[in-house]
Amino acid sequence: MPDSSESEAFDADSVAAFETLAGEFAESAGGDLTSLLGCAVSLGAAAVEVVEEEQAAEQPGPIVHLSGHAGAASQAVHMVLDAADAIAVAGLQVGQEAAEIEEARKGEIGDEQLAAFGGAMKLVTAVLGRLAEEHVGLGDYEPGKPSAVADPGAGWLRGGPFLRMGFALTLEGFEPGRLQVLVAAPGGEGAASNQTPAMGDGPLLLIDPDEATREKIVDVADALGREIEAVDPSKLPGLEDEAFQNAVGVIVAWDLGGHSGLELVEALRQTPSGRKKPVLLASPVPTRGMVEAALRAGASGFLLKPYTAEEMRDRGLA
C-alpha cells in the first residue's frame, strides 16, 4: 500500500484514471507495434501502483529508457524496457532474422540499435501522449531519445514518488519481457526540464574553467543573496569531498577544458548526496541536443553563460 506521501501525490481518483489509461494503452500500442514490426506483439494487463524512487529504479539487469516530460508541471515520464527486449524491437524494426536477433540479445545494445528502437517506439509514445492527455490531463508529452543503462542500480533515476504502469511484453518468437511507464508526481524531484528541488541554506558550487567567469561570480552571488564557491576543474576535489557534500546545488560548465561536464553530472548523480540536490549544466549557446543529453544524464536543467542572478533565481537556485 502507498504511504501518506504517495497518497498525496496520486490520490485514488488519479490512480483509477491511470488504470483506465493503461488498459487502453496496452490494446492500442500492442496493435500498432504488431503492424509495424510484422510479428504479434501484446502488452498484458497492467499493474498500476505508486512506488518510491528505490522501487522504481530497481531493475534486474540492463535497461533502455525513453525519458521525457509532459504537462504544465513538466512531469517526468520514463518508458523502460529490458535491454534485450529493446534489441529485439530494434532488430524487428530493421528486418533482421530471428536467429540474428537472438544472438544480438546476448550482448550490449549499440547506437544503431538504439536509433532503430527509438524509431519503432515513436508509435508507442504517440499513443501514450494521446491517452495521457485524454485521461489524466498530461498534455504536451515530449519523449526524449532512448538511452541505455548498463547498471540500473547506479542512480539512473531520481526523485519520486512515481506512478508505475507495468506491462507484460510478448514479442512472438521471443522470451516474454516487460515494459514499464513511470510518471513522476507533479512538482516532485523527478520532474524534468528546469524543475529543481527546494534548497536549504548553504553555498552553490560552480565548476567552470574560465578564470574571469570565476572572478565575476562574486557579483552574481551578491545579487543572488547566496554564496557561490567557484572551482577550477583542474583542481576539482573528489566527489565525496566536503565541497560537494556541503553544496546545496551544483553548476557545471558543459566544456570543462578538456573534460566533459556531462560526464561529471552523470558521476555526481550516482553519489548519495548528488542525487538529492539541483545539478545544472551551463553553456553560452546550448543546443536542443545538448539540453536533451543533459536531462538524460540527470541534470535538473540548463543555464546560459554568462551567469546572471536573475536566471539562477528563475531556476530555483536563490
Question: In this structure, is residue 92 part of a structural domain?
Answer: yes
Q: Are residues 151 and 219 in the same domain?
A: no
Burial label, 4 (beta-carbon count in 10 A; 0-12, 13-18, 19+): exposed
- pLDDT value, residue 104: 95
Domain boundary among 184, 212, 236: 184
Euclidean distance between CA atoms 118 and 35, whole angstroms: 16
pTM value? 0.61
CATH of the domain at 83: 3.40.1550.10
- pLDDT value, residue 196: 44
Q: Are residues 180 and 219 in the same domain?
A: no
Question: In this structure, is residue 310 part of a structural domain?
Answer: yes
- Residue 309 belongs to what domain range? 204-314
Q: What are phi and psi of 49, to 5 degrees?
A: -155, 160
Q: Are residues 180 and 229 in the same domain?
A: no
Where are the extended beta strands (E) located within the chain? 41-43, 47-51, 63-70, 75-82, 146-149, 162-171, 177-184, 204-207, 228-231, 249-253, 279-283, 301-304
pLDDT tens profile 78-119: 999 999 999 999 999 999 999 999 999 999 998 889 889 988
Question: In this structure, is residue 197 part of a structural domain?
Answer: no
Number of domains in the chain: 2
Domain boundary among 139, 156, 184: 184
Please report, in tens digits, the pLDDT of each residue of the chain (318 residues total): 344 444 467 889 999 999 999 999 999 999 999 999 999 999 997 899 999 888 888 888 899 998 877 766 567 889 999 999 999 999 999 999 999 999 999 999 988 898 899 889 988 999 999 999 999 988 778 777 788 888 776 567 777 789 999 999 999 999 999 999 999 887 555 433 333 445 567 899 999 999 999 999 999 999 999 999 999 998 887 877 787 888 989 999 999 988 899 999 988 888 877 877 888 899 998 887 787 788 778 887 788 899 999 888 877 787
Euclidean distance between CA atoms 85 and 12, whole angstroms: 32
